[in-house]
Homo-oligomer: A and B are copies of this chain.
Amino acid sequence: MSDEPITAERVQQMITRGPFHQWLGLQVLKVEKDAVEIKATWREEWVVNPDKRYTHGGILAALVDLAADWAFVSRTGRGVPTIDMRVDYHRAAMPGDLIAKGRVVKAGGQFSVAEAQVFDKEGALVASGRGVYFTAPPKA
Q: Which of B19, B55, B113 contacts A88 (CB 8 A)?
A: B113
Cross-chain contact A48 with B20 (CB below 8 angstroms): yes
Task: Give the distance to chain B from A74, nearest Cβ to Cβ, in Å.
Answer: 19
Q: Which of A85, A90, A108, A129 has the largest number of chain B CB atoms within 10 A?
A: A85
Interface residue? A29 (CB, 8 A): no
Q: Mark A93-128, 1 if CB is under 8 A from B, else 0.
A: 000000000000110101101000000000001001
Least CB distance from A60 to B in Å reads 9
The chain B residue with its CB closest to the CB of A54 is: B81
Stoichiometry (number of copies): 4
Count of chain A residues with Cβ under 8 Å from any Cβ of B?
49
Closest to A107 in B: B90
Q: How far is the CB of A11 from chain B (nearest CB, A)?
A: 14
B88 touches A132 (CB 8 A): yes
Contacts of A73 in B (CB 8 A): none
Q: Please, which residues of chain B bring their CB within 8 A of the CB of A130?
A: 86, 88, 130
Counting CB contacts under 8 A, is A6 at the interface?
Answer: no
Instruction: Give chain A interface residues in 21-53, CB to chain B under 8 Å.
Output: 21-23, 44-50
Q: Is the CB of B86 within 8 A of A19?
A: no
